[in-house]
Every structure is written in structure tokens, then in C-alpha cells.
């Protein structure tokens, strides 16, 4: 089994794992007395603390040595190779450019992400992946596309290791290394997963889909469909109901943002 390893999430997970934050709150004017409350996670901070003009706030960050982060990366990758019973592997990381940035019109692709929130050791971890694990940088598209292209050429002999749900639109073996789940996606499941996402969009990538259509509604729209042509026609009708005269243009945009390429330079086209 050849493991296609999407390592982008590993860069961030292992990088942030060695960074430790403390969120400190002080009484204004009495900072010399020390904080009266300290939180480890930002989500724990009460809303009233954020809005209280009588409080001052300080974020303290401590970072473990680089070797600790690289050790975590090595553990993660070795664990994935072992869990997938891989006899060979290829590690992939993000390179330069992404065609989706050019075709995204309705919203800025991944425009909802904080691009400044990056681990201190990101550069060092990427270099380690390239030098020690022979990671390949993927340019012009996403790591997801590269893995999908490689798996499409050999569905039975490859396994994609990732935490990304988008791979569920591709036929073949998958391994979610966060959940430790190995599973097979067949052709009908792959088609259905693509059209479900076409209806709902993808909040994590800032892809709109059809507003107010969630997973339950999307499943209802596709219920009973057994082939890609029928699924497409149902999606097209749902798009027409919402987008009216602009439905065809928006559907094509959303589909190409969501669709993972199965060949270099490919774009999604409606089934005939």
C-alpha cells in the first residue's frame, strides 16, 4: 500500500503543540500586583472580561525548543505509516499558488481564515519535511488535488492519510489520522459526497453553496438518487430556486471550488 500523506495539518498541529499561551487579566492601575485571573485557552475567557474597561489584558507565550516540534512530527508520520500498513509513502505540503483563488467570485476563497495565525516553527517544520521525509511542494493547486490525482490512478493500491473530509469525494482508501479511522469510499458514495457539499458549501474554505441549505436539507434533496446525472439535476434545480437567472454561473463556480481534480489541469463539468 502506497500512502499519500497530506502533511499541511501536521505542520500546524505539531507547530502549535509546542506553543503555550496564558491569557492574563489585571485590575487597571494595579498591574504590579499581578493578574487576578489567568486562562490557558482564549475560549475560556468570559465575555464580560473582554468588554470591561476596568480590566487590562496581557497574552504570554512560551515556546518549547524546535526539536520538540520535530519530534512530534516524526511521531505523527511514523504512526500514520504504521497504521496504514504502508510499504511506501509520499508526503505532500502546500507550495505556491492555487487556481481556486482566481475563479472564486462570490466570496474570497478561504477569506475567512486568519493568515497571521501561524506557528513559530512553520518554516523549520516545512524544511524538515522536505529534507528528511522528501516532502513534495504542490504548486498551482492544493495538496488535496495532488492526492486525488494520484489516488485516481490507483484506487486500490493507495491510501490518502489526512483529516480533510473533502477526500470523501474520491474513490479509494482513506485514513483519518485524528480519528484513527481507515475506510473505503466507493463510487456512489464519492459522487454523493461531492453533490452534498455542492449544496451546503464549505464554511472552512469560505465556499457559499446555497445559503441555509445544511446537511439535513441537502441529504433530503438527494434522497433516492442513484447516479451522478440525477444528483446533478437535483442540485441544479436547487440552485435555480435560489439564484434564479444566475444559477448556472454560480453552480459552476461552486463546483470547481469544491471539486478535487482527478487529472492535471482538469476542471469540473456537468455530467452528460
Check residue 40 and give its pLDDT. Answer: 85
Model confidence pLDDT, tens digit, residues 116-130: 789 999 999 999 999
- The backbone torsions φ and ψ at residue 15, rounded to the nearest 5 degrees and listed phi first, read -65, -45
DSSP, res 188? H
9-13, 37-41, 190-194: segment of lowest average pLDDT: 37-41
Q: How much is the pTM?
A: 0.87
**Residue 50 to residue 42: CA distance in whole angstroms:** 11
**Collapsing DSSP states into helix, strand and coil, what is residue 121?**
coil
C-alpha cell at 268: 469540473
The model's confidence at residue 272, banded by pLDDT at 50, 70 and 90, is confident
C-alpha cell at 207: 465556499
Which residue bears the cell 495565525? 117
Q: How many residues does the chain have?
A: 272
User: Within 13 Å, how many C-alpha atoms sit on residue 181's CB side?
Assistant: 10
Of 174, 147, 179, the closest CA to residue 161 belongs to 174
Distance in angstroms between the alpha carbons of the first and the last residue of the chain: 34
Model confidence pLDDT, tens digit, residues 151-160: 999 999 999 9
Instruction: Using the predicted structure, report yes or no on whether residue 112 has a pLDDT greater than 90.
Output: no
69-73, 114-118, 133-137: segment of lowest average pLDDT: 114-118
Amino acid at each position: 500500500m502506497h500512502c499519500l500523506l497530506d502533511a499541511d495539518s501536521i505542520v500546524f498541529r505539531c507547530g502549535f503543540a509546542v506553543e503555550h499561551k496564558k491569557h492574563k487579566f489585571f485590575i487597571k492601575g494595579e498591574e504590579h500586583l499581578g493578574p487576578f485571573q489567568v486562562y490557558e485557552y482564549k475560549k475560556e475567557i468570559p465575555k464580560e472580561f473582554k468588554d470591561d474597561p476596568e480590566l487590562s489584558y496581557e497574552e504570554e507565550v512560551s515556546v518549547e525548543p524546535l526539536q520538540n516540534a520535530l519530534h512530534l512530527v516524526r511521531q505523527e508520520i511514523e504512526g500514520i505509516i504504521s497504521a496504514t500498513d504502508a510499504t511506501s509513502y509520499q508526503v505532500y505540503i502546500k507550495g505556491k499558488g492555487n487556481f481556486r483563488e482566481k475563479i472564486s467570485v462570490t466570496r474570497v476563497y478561504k477569506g475567512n481564515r486568519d493568515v497571521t495565525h501561524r506557528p513559530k516553527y512553520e518554516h523549520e517544520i516545512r524544511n524538515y519535511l522536505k529534507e528528511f521525509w522528501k516532502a513534495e511542494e504542490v504548486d498551482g493547486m492544493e495538496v488535496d488535488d495532488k492526492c486525488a490525482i494520484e489516488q485516481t490512478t490507483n484506487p486500490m493500491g493507495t491510501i490518502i492519510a489526512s483529516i480533510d473530509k473533502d477526500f470523501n469525494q474520491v474513490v479509494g482508501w482513506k485514513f483519518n489520522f485524528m480519528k484513527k479511522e481507515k475506510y473505503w469510499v466507493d463510487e456512489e458514495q464519492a459522487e454523493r459526497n461531492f453533490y452534498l457539499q455542492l449544496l451546503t458549501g464549505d464554511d472552512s474554505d469560505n465556499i457559499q453553496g446555497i445559503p441555509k441549505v445544511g446537511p439535513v436539507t441537502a441529504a433530503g434533496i438527494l434522497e433516492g438518487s442513484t447516479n451522478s446525472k440525477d444528483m446533478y439535476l437535483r442540485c441544479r434545480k436547487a440552485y435555480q430556486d435560489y439564484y434564479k437567472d444566475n444559477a448556472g454561473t454560480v453552480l459552476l463556480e461552486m463546483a470547481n471550488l469544491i471539486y478535487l481534480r482527478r487529472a492535471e489541469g482538469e476542471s469540473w463539468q456537468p455530467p452528460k
